[in-house]
Structure 1
Amino acid sequence: MLDAALPMGVSGEELDIRSDGAVLRGRLVRPRGTPRAALVLHGATGAPARFYRGFADWAARERDLAVLTYDYRDFGASLRRPMRGSKATLADWGRLDQAAALAALARTCPGTELWVLGHSVGGLWMGWHAGMERVTRAITIGAGLTHVTDHPWRYQWKARVFWSPPVRALAAAAGYLPGKLVGLGADLPRGVYEDWRRWCTTRGWHLSDVGRTLSLPEAGRFRGRLRMIAVADDDLVPPAAVWRARALFPEAMKEQKVLRPADFGLASIGHIPPFTRRNAVLWPAILD
């Protein structure tokens, strides 16, 4: 299905992506001419694909990229049943859905150079994705192995409340996490919240489950260029946690970059806001 709400010079379509029994809703935008690369954008936990629409359209129009955005299983536009009945986990989103989206992009844009952009949790699973050996460039932003003690004190109390037994009990009683009630905004499947909670309160984040519920990632799958971006005032994933994730990509050609608000004439940036339209001044620094 064609997408009519697109800027001049960009064409697009909606598509379904099959992922291990689930069907994900995606949106592919293309530049007017031949794309110089095709990029899949793996989003942050709780950020629906529509949140990245402005960035995707800009990247297609201004940087000649074909860009695939999508929602993880049982979330956003991919929610096809009551969330209360969802069995989705954050591990499913990272291992299965991100890999399926990359494979769908490769099929849809054959012969085109493949790029990956991972925001937050979207940048932590590439070692589990078959097909990463074909990716020539990857960018992560705000993607780190974060422990609750990494947060500055001004945010840490909020995180500890979010992971507290009462919020966990609320998710158990509702059958999902009611996001608006706890200040997140978007609802989450209960299994996604449980994985997220466990990893943020355990050293090593998801690596703490390797050998139990997770296989060992194949770190050598990606040997291309990797730009790891931290945001100086990111309370959720501070720069130290981002640099800790370097160990996930031992074979990549790594570059580190810090976005500082003052460098862009901004009062603040934070964790989620880099992809808002009002912060479009940041987009060239992310992608170029």
Structure 2
Amino acid sequence: MIKDISVTCEDSTHLTATLYTPERAIKGAVMIAPATGIKRQFYAAFANYLCEQGFGVITFDNRGIAESLKGKIEHSKASLVTWGQQDMPAVLETLKMHFPKTQYFLVGHSAGGQLLGLMPNVNDLTAFCNFGSSSGSLRNMRAGYLLKAHFFMNFYIPLNNLLFGHTKSHLVGMGEPLPKGVSRQWQKWCNGQGYVKEAFGKEVLRHWYDDIRLPSKWILATDDDIANLSNVKDMISVFPELEADIRLLTPDDYNLAEIGHMKFFSRKCQALWPEVSDFLSSHSVLSAPETQSPVM
């Protein structure tokens, strides 16, 4: 069963989310944390797949994005920090409410995996699996992509924020329009090392990156210009106690023309999806009969 729901954050912000409920006893429950500016419908096919594998799933739009945008985007106070500190914890609590007494997992895409150390309830997770989650550091990008990345980060973003009060990222194929607070932090963090580490002691006064010891799998593609191996390792370094398994995928090995930074979640790449579901299943225990029914 698929149902749209509302998630209420601690600061009373409301997010739009979609709940996927299996028809049988569940193995666990998964929150799919999206990439920067990517709306939840992008993950629908993948969420259905996980649901068919026996997982309850929630997808969501971060504040300021798609159906979670309230009012004009130029008035949005959203930032990457609020996504991690407010939105993601609330989504996990909502997942726990709808699927009680089971194991909880996070599947992060890009920013969705980068920000989980900002969640005060992160250790309620049993494990997490990321795709394309890296520091996004410009200094580690190959020369052929570097000019494009610098143009977007260091020219397009500041110019858009100055002229329009937000970033029209959709015009250059970079997801939904972005609130200026989101794109401003994105620009700053990708120009440094360790991504969110750039904000420690500044916008981020408390975090849980040092405390996370969860099993984790970090999947990346050889043709991803952003989340290359150097940037993935750079991001993992922000989690000093983490158990990290890195899995490198090559498109030719799966008869795929492209995986890149975005195609993993498309139906064309569904041959890759067991990389996630097998990992989650290996850390899950089927819910007992008396606890298998979700709360609706």
- Supply the distance in 2 between the matched residues of 1:15 and 1:151 (Cα, whole angstroms): 39
What's the counterpart of residue 192 of structure 1?
182
Q: Find the partner of 2:28 among 14, 17, 37.
A: 37
Structure 1 range deviating more: 85-94 or 220-229? 220-229
- Supply the distance in 2 between the matched residues of 1:107 and 1:91 (Cα, whole angstroms): 24
One-letter amino acid matched to 1:188? L
What's the counterpart of residue 276 of structure 1?
266
- Supply the distance in 1 between the matched residues of 2:172 and 2:133 (Cα, whole angstroms): 23
Q: Is the 8 A contact 2:126 2:214 kept in 1?
A: yes
- Supply the distance in 2 between the matched residues of 1:139 and 1:179 (Cα, whole angstroms): 26
What's the counterpart of residue 255 of structure 1?
245
Matched, 1:136 2:116: no
Q: Is the 8 A contact 1:132 1:221 kept in 2?
A: no
What's the counterpart of residue 104 of structure 1?
94
Q: Cα offset for 1:287?
A: 2.6
SS in structure 1 opposite 2:237? Answer: helix
* Distance change in 2, residues 1:263/1:26 (3 Å): same
One-letter amino acid matched to 1:234? D
Give the alignment of 1:51-200 within 5 angstroms. Answer: 51-61=42-52, 63-165=53-155, 167-200=157-190
In the alignment, structure 1 segments of 5+ residues that lack a partner are 1-10
One-letter amino acid matched to 2:151? V
* Distance change in 2, residues 1:217/1:192 (3 Å): same
Deviations 1:122-166 (A, max 9, x none): 001222212222211110111112211211122111111102345
TM-score by length of 2: 0.89
What's the counterpart of residue 4 of structure 1?
none
- Supply the distance in 2 between the matched residues of 1:175 and 1:190 (Cα, whole angstroms): 6
* Distance change in 2, residues 1:219/1:184 (3 Å): closer
- Supply the distance in 1 between the matched residues of 2:2 and 2:200 (Cα, whole angstroms): 38
Q: Is the 8 A contact 1:135 1:222 kept in 2?
A: no
Q: Is the 8 A contact 1:94 1:121 kept in 2?
A: no
What's the counterpart of residue 46 of structure 1?
37
- Supply the distance in 1 between the matched residues of 2:236 and 2:30 (Cα, whole angstroms): 21
Q: Is the 8 A contact 2:128 2:216 kept in 1?
A: yes
Matched, 1:230 2:214: no
* Distance change in 2, residues 1:152/1:26 (3 Å): same
Q: Find the partner of 1:201 among 165, 169, 191.
A: 191
* RMSD between aligned residues: 1.6
- Supply the distance in 1 between the matched residues of 2:166 and 2:270 (Cα, whole angstroms): 33
What's the counterpart of residue 28 of structure 1?
19
In the alignment, structure 2 segments of 5+ residues that lack a partner are 279-296
Q: Is the 8 A contact 1:172 1:190 kept in 2?
A: no
TM-score by length of 1: 0.91
- Supply the distance in 1 between the matched residues of 2:167 and 2:92 (Cα, whole angstroms): 28
SS in structure 2 opposite 1:110? Answer: coil
Matched, 1:17 2:7: yes
Q: Is the 8 A contact 2:4 2:18 kept in 1?
A: yes
SS in structure 2 opposite 1:163? Answer: helix
Q: Cα offset for 1:221?
A: 4.2
Q: Cα offset for 1:107?
A: 1.6
- Supply the distance in 2 between the matched residues of 1:23 and 1:84 (Cα, whole angstroms): 18
* Distance change in 2, residues 1:220/1:166 (3 Å): closer
Structure 1 range deviating more: 183-192 or 115-124? 183-192
Structure 1 range deviating more: 236-245 or 33-42? 236-245
Q: Is the 8 A contact 2:195 2:235 kept in 1?
A: no
Aligned positions, number:
277
Q: Is the 8 A contact 2:15 2:63 kept in 1?
A: yes
- Supply the distance in 2 between the matched residues of 1:145 and 1:83 (Cα, whole angstroms): 26
